[in-house]
Structure 1
Amino acid sequence: MASALTPQGSVRQRNVPGSAKNNKDGAASDVEIDRVIVKKPSKSKLVAKPAAKPAAKASERDYQIVGFFITAAAFLTRFWGISHPNEVVFDEVHFGKFASYYLQRTYFFDVHPPLGKLLFAFMGWLVGYDGHFHFDNIGDNYIDNKVPYVAFRSLPAILGALTVSVVYLIMWESGYSLPACIIAAGLVLLDNAHIGQTRLILLDATLVFAMACSLLFYIKFYKLRHEPFSRKWWKWLILTGFALSCDMSVKYVGLFAFVAIGSAVIIDLWDLLDIKRPGGALSLPDFGKHFAARAFGLIILPFLFYLFWFQVHFAILTRSGPGDDFMTPEFQETLSDNLMLSNAVTVNYYDSITLRHKETKTYLHSHADRYPLRYDDGRVSSQGQQVTGYPFNDTNNYWQILPVVDDQKMGHAVKNNELVRLRHLVTDTILLSHDVASPYYPTNQEFTTCSITDAYGDRAADTLFEIRIENGKPGQEFKSISSHFKLIHNPSKVAMWTHTTPLPEWGHKQQEINGNKQLAPSSNVWFVEDLPSVPADDKRREKEERKVKTLPFLVKWFELQRSMFWHNNQLTSSHPYASHPYQWPFLLRGVSFWTQNDTRQQIYFVGNPIGWWLTSSVLAIYAGIILADQFSLRRGIDALDHRSRSRLYNSTGFFFLAWATHYLPFFVMGRQLFLHHYLPAHLASALVTGAIVEFIFSVDSGDSEAVTKKPAADKRHVTARERFAGQSMVGAWVAVLVIFAILGAGWYFFLPLTYGYPGLTVEQVVRRKWLGYDLHFAK
């Protein structure tokens, strides 16, 4: 069996019938896939000679010509009608908006790393766009708002077209025949999903292009394994790391490419430790050099590139903007024109305040109504006064902040970690929490209020709360707007918390407030929005000229990473066009991007069903071939020649690994998932398909030893092997024609849904509702 899984490399056969074996002279049994074993008649020693080329093998010029036409076709399919529609489509509302924010240097927040959005901003800068349009709504007209949207869309279109070329080059560099290269590239070229994602202002074209480049560069690096530490070896190693970094710097799912290539690298390193490897065993110091070089090129450098894009991100976004609320006050102090910090007012004891939850923006609220005696699940409440979250500003949101001991701190500022009481002004009661289960969370404490007499009598301890400012320093003043804090119940050490599930009718469908035993989550954070008791002309409201502060880059980076990961994990709500991973390979549903009622035009994101079903079937075929080969070998039957098995396990196995690592991890994700998440895996499945077509037709493979045994001078007769090679090549070209014909038919049939024109009649829409696609205008 193969001891390494690599893009193209050596397969070592040990104790397998038909494989080369070590002889008594100790000759190595390992051979490379582009060489064959030939026995010299006069000796028992094994000698490696170049394999004879099959008669029908294409020349390098043939590959170049075909590659040119495939690239031209890719640009044509991506750019054709790219100006339609001239309206904001689907997630262009996000990524177009972010490009505008970059050009206006206005701070924003997004769950994805910055590289893809920076490229859009760079494209806008090249054409002189000033970022005045903010892509607020799907359907907003670009022409009316003077937005160079075609330039923006051209970026993913260029990268999408080049992705087809990279797929072709991957197959070529891996040594596959011309038919195999054409089929793999054609599956991406004529795929409606890849085309649809590359004609709009979206990130996936950049992601898929970077992923494809990482595979290509690693293959070119691996092919130089016999020239370690040469200039070219280092070049392709570093380029592989750079492509991997770009992949992850667009979206975090780009990390899957690290897993794919990292797995191949680990197997390769394990292979280098083999004392029986061709060329002799590496010494441990030499192995250490190989390990260090790969760690530097594929881990350290990519991480530095990744940090670089964030440095660019911070360097550009220097002005306060809509992303401020996601960051701490300390971070916001590094932004100019920050209204939150400039409007901050020191909170003194006996001030009336309004408290607002940072995430849900709801106010801390109370009213005279009480909790019911029993909840729906039969649990008994305290029947105390309701404390809820209310989304609108109201006098029932007013609370007075009191010291623990009256009359000792009049006019004094409230400070971090001090104990306070909160008095509800309208009902003249004191906020309280106690060991009674909340309405929705039996494990969380109920929040209610009690009378002032009880608050300073028997219930005194239950009314004490600690002001704990996020990242606050001892003695730091508590301020409105800028001091994000957690209100910790002193006796029980629970944090005041709320969530968006509304209470029943008895709670007026307002938000539940309860005590969370987990203090760490950022969902416990609140802030003081206003001080109604402080007059507008009070000295505390005077705005002093504020200097922009600085924070170390890594401090800002760590804070942003925490916020990005947290909000990414919160994308768990349902979406009408979300789909599950098991639906993707079979293309069971798509996503509606855009519709126009007057013309009955629509853009519906869906792949080419013929191509997706073909690649999914081939993946199953590949797994079946591997299992059959393993079973045969266990029974002493060797049905494959050395070169075929090498390709099957090494090169095709690498493509299959890339598919698995880009697909299977989605099954354990809890966030929203959509069909576009499968595009990198689909590209890898196209590579597997091209390789399996070559395997089936045995193009440029087979019993190469038989070829080398043919006398070189005998050119009068065509051997059976040459006739077989010619027939295989003909069969492969027939497969190319058949596959391209059905791919082209599928692409053309779904073209109106991909390009958004022409509009379709009801009958035409219904004909395209394969597998229940939820298309518009079907009736």
Structure 2
Amino acid sequence: MSESVEKGKVPQLQNFYRGLLRLESIISPIAYTLLALYVRFQNIDKNPDVVWDEAHFGKFGSYYIKHEFYHDVHPPLGKMLIALTEWLAGFDGEFDFDSNQSYPENVNYKLIRQINACFGVACCPLAYWTAKNMGFQLLTVHLIAIMVTLEHSYIVLSKFILLDSMLLFFTIATFACLVKMYTARREPFTRRWKLWMWLTGLSIGCVCSVKWVGLFVTLVVGAYTILELFTLRFDPKVSRKQYFKHWAIRVINLIVTPFLIYLFLFKIHFTLLYKSGPGDASTNTLFQVNLENNEIETGPRTVAFGSLITIRSHGLSPNLLHSHFQTYPEGSNQNQVTGYGFADDNNVWQVRFPRSSELNWEEDYLPDEGSGYITDGSVIRLFHNQQKVNLHTHRIPSHVSRGNYEVSGYGSEEIGDLKDDWIVEIVRQTDSSDPDYPKENYDELHPVSTFFRLRNKELGCYLTSTGFSYPKWGFQQAEIVCKHSWSKHDKSTWWNVEEHWNENLPIDTDWHPPKSRFWTDFVMINFAMASSNSALVEDHDKFDNLATDAWEWPTLHRGLRMCSWSKDSYRYFLMGSPFNTWLSTLSLFVFLAITAKLLYQWKRQTKPMTESTFWEFIIQGVMPFTAWVTHYLPFVVMGRVTYVHHYLPALYFAILIFGFVVDRLLRSSFNWIKYPVYIALFGGCIKTYTYFSPICQGMTGMWTDYIYLEWLKSWDMAV
């Protein structure tokens, strides 16, 4: 009788424990969300000034509200979300977000910061769910969640109008979806499997649309996908048809879907920014001329000898042809010719008779009689209106790109040679957007609507914008060269006249510019972003006390002051938690040791690895470590200037690796070892947060009150 009673209690106890676990899975993420709200909203409005990069991203948000076009090095999603938070807070866009400037009373900066902070808050329950789905012990799951929730760098960046919390949220969301996709791998082609595959693609599209570093977590998803497809290839249960279906679904969800999301967000971006703004110079002429209130002057409809013109490139750097009095430090030592995006008198050139002509400009140009329109095949000479030199090329090598010729400003009206002559080759004509406007002569050169190439008559090479930039001696302006191009579809050799002045020709005010093409605008703006990113190199002649090297992040060698350091202001110091950062960095080496041991055991066949243990090791250890490498190593090798906040996504994956190491080392330990260690880790994380909480909750008053925080001499929190 007692035996049957005992047996009856077992299912009851099992049901009781299942109920507790279900309750825990509901209560825990709510608890972490509430804790995250508390630490991230605390003192969020204490500093009433524009803090750090709020000067950039708050301003970008205001451009959406005012519908003014701008240019930035990052894709638009994060800034559109900032604009949404500003709109929800009732902001009208009429504040410039100048650095360290106090917010006016009509700007509800507290609410804007709070809405932005919600992205940082959402990272915490996501971290909990991710760790749980990875198969860690419950104590390890909570350890990871509390580390993410109380991470100082995550807290302080959540308090301000920045992209970093959004980037971190979508990075964590992408990895979380990948883990859910892993849990559904045994149920291929089910709704659940397809849903998480699609959500992974959605997250990839979003994270790459906030910052291009989202491509790093995309590489992790790609690595996992390739591994899955590789194992499926040798699965006898998977037919060839099913295998191709696996490929097709992954291509659609993990490649096509993210790209379409990225494309769609740029469509919204262009739709919202329909007025002329500070970013006009990064776009092509057709895009600019279709913006409201643009500054491109309407001129005569056909270019002629004697016309003053500016011409813009269709290459990777869509800049205006420019020259100035500075000369090349090497090569010809003649005037530099560059590409420059902004309106400037040094962009203006006059169309004159070629050297090969018998006509003399001073004697034979008769403006009142006209000197002929420029047509396809016309030979012209471009004379710089300010420097009084000719657009010239010669067999001197170009300065940045290889295999091309230098282009310079040379000579005068009297001094020059046949290398001053250029042949106009018209490659495309676009019609007015007004269907009732008469068709123009397709053989003539028209401003805005005619795309053409300039071939040097003597050397046969084409005037080209390479997409590279000159060094400091060229003011980092775009490189212009003369290169041999064998295809008229080479758009680096394409140009169009942007503005045209000629007092002797009538201005046609009835002409309406053609509409720009979305695909062209999309490609050009992304190339402009790439060019701007590559220009963010460290200036060795200028000391940047905020910049740090990549080795300083996992070692916590230095932090970053985010605002004014006066004693009367709330001061924030961007630095990771010593507990989280140092232990997670150490765990990376322990992980490599564990991996080496497992490989040794597998090779010696002393501890065979089953399919389940293999995949568990992959998702718990290999994928987070791969993610840490992909998020950290590029900053080690890249030449651009770097800051502490670039380590934030990598730190998350280092924390996951720390969780893996702790889970692996304590899983089979005795309770008298296991639980004290976990208690010590939880206590250490919480104590470290409270001890260093001033750096993320704000330091005010005398600097001497915070000397105790400076564990290392390189930390400049106090003075």
- 1:354-433 equivalence runs, <5 A: 364-365=323-324, 400-404=350-354, 405=357, 406=359, 407=364, 410-414=370-374, 418-423=378-383, 432-433=392-393
Cα pair 1:422 1:431 within 8 Å, conserved: yes
Equivalent residue number for residue 457 of structure 2: 490
Equivalent residue number for residue 63 of structure 2: 101
- Give the letter aligned to residue 457 of structure 2: N
Q: Which of 632, 637, 642 does residue 663 from structure 1 map onto? A: 632
Counterpart-to-counterpart distance in 2, 1:763 and 1:527: 63
Q: Residues 307-352 of structure 1: CA distance to partner in whole angstroms, max 9, x if unpaired?
A: 2212221222222222221111122233232222547886532245
Q: CA deviation at 1:306?
A: 2.1
Counterpart-to-counterpart distance in 2, 1:273 and 1:438: 50
- Give the letter aligned to residue 764 of structure 1: Y
Q: CA deviation at 1:299?
A: 2.0
Q: Which of 648, 663, 672 does residue 694 from structure 1 map onto? A: 663
Equivalent residue number for residue 477 of structure 1: 445
Q: Does 1:222 align with 2:222?
A: no
- 1:510-589 equivalence runs, <5 A: 515=481, 517=483, 531=501, 540=506, 544=509, 547=512, 549-574=514-539, 576-589=545-558
Counterpart-to-counterpart distance in 1, 2:677 and 2:152: 21
Q: CA deviation at 1:772?
A: 1.4
Equivalent residue number for residue 45 of structure 1: none
Q: Does 1:289 align with 2:254?
A: no
Q: Does 1:157 align with 2:117?
A: yes
Q: CA deviation at 1:267?
A: 1.5
Change (3 A) 1:124 1:478: same
Equivalent residue number for residue 623 of structure 1: 592
- 1:15-34 equivalence runs, <5 A: none
Q: Which of 641, 646, 649 does residue 677 from structure 1 map onto? A: 646
- 1:160-171 equivalence runs, <5 A: 160-171=120-131
Q: Does 1:752 align with 2:714?
A: no
Equivalent residue number for residue 139 of structure 1: 100
Equivalent residue number for residue 462 of structure 1: 419
Q: Does 1:76 align with 2:41?
A: no
Q: Residues 684-735 of structure 1: CA distance to partner in whole angstroms, max 9, x if unpaired?
A: 111121122121111xxx5xxxxxxxxxxxxxxxxxxxxx6xx43x544433
Matched residue count: 668
Percent of pairs with identical residues: 27
Q: CA deviation at 1:592?
A: 3.0
Change (3 A) 1:334 1:580: same
- Give the letter aligned to residue 121 of structure 2: A
Q: Which of 180, 203, 206 does residue 163 from structure 2 map onto? A: 203
- Give the letter aligned to residue 501 of structure 1: K
Counterpart-to-counterpart distance in 2, 1:512 and 1:625: 50
Q: Residues 434-486 of structure 1: CA distance to partner in whole angstroms, max 9, x if unpaired?
A: 4457899998547354465554xxx3x1221346789777645354x998988
Counterpart-to-counterpart distance in 1, 2:706 and 2:111: 32
Change (3 A) 1:346 1:750: farther
- Give the letter aligned to residue 323 of structure 2: L
- Give the letter aligned to residue 76 of structure 2: P
Q: Residues 728-755 of structure 1: CA distance to partner in whole angstroms, max 9, x if unpaired?
A: 3x54443333223333343344433333
The worse-fitting range, judged by mean Cα deviation, of 661-670 and 356-365 is 356-365
Cα pair 2:322 2:338 within 8 Å, conserved: yes
Counterpart-to-counterpart distance in 2, 1:426 and 1:162: 57
The worse-fitting range, judged by mean Cα deviation, of 422-431 and 171-180 is 422-431
Q: Which of 681, 697, 700 does residue 739 from structure 1 map onto? A: 681
Cα pair 2:127 2:172 within 8 Å, conserved: yes
Cα pair 2:567 2:701 within 8 Å, conserved: no
Counterpart-to-counterpart distance in 2, 1:387 and 1:255: 37
The worse-fitting range, judged by mean Cα deviation, of 185-194 and 630-639 is 630-639
Q: Which of 205, 208, 231 does residue 271 from structure 1 map onto? A: 231
- Give the letter aligned to residue 676 of structure 2: V
- 2:564 partner SS: strand
Q: CA deviation at 1:207?
A: 1.4
- Give the letter aligned to residue 402 of structure 1: R
Counterpart-to-counterpart distance in 2, 1:747 and 1:174: 26
- 1:364 partner SS: strand
Counterpart-to-counterpart distance in 2, 1:422 and 1:739: 72
Q: Which of 73, 89, 102 does residue 51 from structure 2 map onto? A: 89
- 1:183 partner SS: helix
Change (3 A) 1:217 1:487: same
- 1:772 partner SS: coil
Q: Which of 76, 83, 105 does residue 114 from structure 1 map onto? A: 76
Q: CA deviation at 1:210?
A: 1.2
Equivalent residue number for residue 135 of structure 2: 175
Cα pair 1:439 1:512 within 8 Å, conserved: no
Q: CA deviation at 1:577?
A: 2.8
Cα pair 1:363 1:393 within 8 Å, conserved: no
Counterpart-to-counterpart distance in 2, 1:547 and 1:529: 14
- 1:770 partner SS: coil
- Give the letter aligned to residue 491 of structure 1: E
The worse-fitting range, judged by mean Cα deviation, of 224-233 and 351-360 is 351-360
- 1:602 partner SS: coil
Counterpart-to-counterpart distance in 2, 1:322 and 1:470: 30
Equivalent residue number for residue 299 of structure 1: 255
Q: CA deviation at 1:596?
A: 4.4
Change (3 A) 1:410 1:770: farther
Change (3 A) 1:511 1:650: closer
Q: Residues 109-159 of structure 1: CA distance to partner in whole angstroms, max 9, x if unpaired?
A: 222222111112222222332222232x20122134x22222322233111
Counterpart-to-counterpart distance in 2, 1:68 and 1:512: 52
Q: Residues 486-544 of structure 1: CA distance to partner in whole angstroms, max 9, x if unpaired?
A: 866432336488846348xxxxx99999855588797998977785xx56xx764x572
- 1:594 partner SS: coil
Counterpart-to-counterpart distance in 1, 2:303 and 2:619: 68
Highest Rg: 1 or 2? Answer: 1
- 1:444-463 equivalence runs, <5 A: 445=406, 447=408, 449-450=410-411, 452=413, 455=416, 459=417, 461-463=418-420
The worse-fitting range, judged by mean Cα deviation, of 295-304 and 250-259 is 295-304
Change (3 A) 1:629 1:766: same
Counterpart-to-counterpart distance in 2, 1:257 and 1:682: 13
- 1:171 partner SS: helix
Answer 1 or 2: higher relative contact order, Cα 8 Å, separation at least 6.
1
**Unaligned stretches of 5+ residues in structure 2:** 1-10, 431-441
Cα pair 1:355 1:526 within 8 Å, conserved: yes
- 1:291-330 equivalence runs, <5 A: 291-330=247-286
**Unaligned stretches of 5+ residues in structure 1:** 1-49, 504-508, 703-723
- 1:227 partner SS: coil
Change (3 A) 1:218 1:199: same
Change (3 A) 1:521 1:149: farther
Q: CA deviation at 1:298?
A: 1.9
Change (3 A) 1:734 1:233: same
Cα pair 2:312 2:320 within 8 Å, conserved: yes
Equivalent residue number for residue 11 of structure 1: none
